[in-house]
Amino acid sequence: MIDPVSAFQQTGTEYVVELVAQVEQDASYAGQYVTIVVVTLIVIVLLLSALWLGWRNRKLRQKHVEVPASIPEGLLDQEPLVLDEGMYVATVQGRDWLDRIAVHQLGIRTDAQMEVHSQGVAILRNGASNLFVRADQITDVRLESGINGKFVEKEGLIVFSWMLGHQEVSTGFRTKTAAGKRPLYTALSGLIPEAGPATQHAATAKPNTTPTDDSGRE
């Protein structure tokens, strides 16, 4: 005859053994998850550190870049030739679309409003310093598909080149709507001496890379 007490003791022992094994297995899984999380965090920290160091070194290399002019007093009280809202994309050195200028907050992408006046163009930026370019500083205006990591449909960006001190730079602006692009482009082109609407410039001075993204506006 089976002893009930012995059977209960044996069953209880097996249960305890199984429970301990389950706990050990769960602890092993938990340890693996913790390891994965820690490694992921370390990788993220290293990537952010590398980005920060790269940005800092870029700013150190660009100490020679002059500070842009401030918006003239009273200019914003005047009626602009044309204005529109959109995105300030970046300012790059020369016409190298990948060589973004980091100093003077020129490399910060922000929502902005562009106003074209007879004296020049003012870009009013959210969360960054405003930018003013005198009419006599502007050397070229064209429509491009991308500049410094911002690639859109063909001729989706207004890019104008201008002289910052003795150095030519180029600034990209993305209008919020497609309808706002042409009036700004025409007004900017009209600021260039001896140039009317500069449609001929759109076919010249192509960027280093011209990938397109037809997925729509960001």
| In the chain, domain spans | 1-61, 75-203
Query: CATH: 2.30.30.360, 3.30.2350.10, 3.40.50.300, 2.30.29.30. Which one for 75-203?
Result: 2.30.29.30
Q: Is the distance from CB of 68 to CB of 147 less than 8 angstroms? A: no
Model confidence over 23-80: pLDDT tens digits? 666 666 666 777 777 778 787 877 777 776 765 666 567 678 888 988 999 999 999 9
- Residues of the chain above pLDDT 90, percent: 43
Could you write out the three-class secondary structure of the chain? CCCHHHHHHHHHHHHHHHHHHHHHHHHHHHHHHHHHHHHHHHHHHHHHHHHHHHHHHHHHHCCCCCCCECCCCCHHHCCCCEEEEEEEEEEEECCCCCCECCHHHCCCCEEEEEEEECCEEEEEECCCCCEEEEHHHEEEEEEECEECCEECCCCCEEEEEEEECCEEEEEEEEECCHHHHHHHHHHHHHHCCCCCCCHHHHHCCCCCCCCCCCCCCC
Does the pLDDT at position 161 exceed 80? yes
Residue 100, phi then psi, degrees to nearest 5? -70, 140
Tokens 């990591």 found at: 149
Q: What does the mean pLDDT of the chain come to?
A: 78
Which tokens sit at 214?
Answer: 């037809």
pTM over 0.85, yes/no: no
Closest CA to 103 of 162, 145, 164, 48: 164
Does the pLDDT at position 207 exceed 50? no
Model confidence over 120-152: pLDDT tens digits? 999 999 999 999 999 999 999 999 988 876 778
Q: Is the distance from CB of 97 to CB of 152 less than 8 angstroms? A: no
Cα–Cα distance between 74 and 84 in angstroms, integer? 19
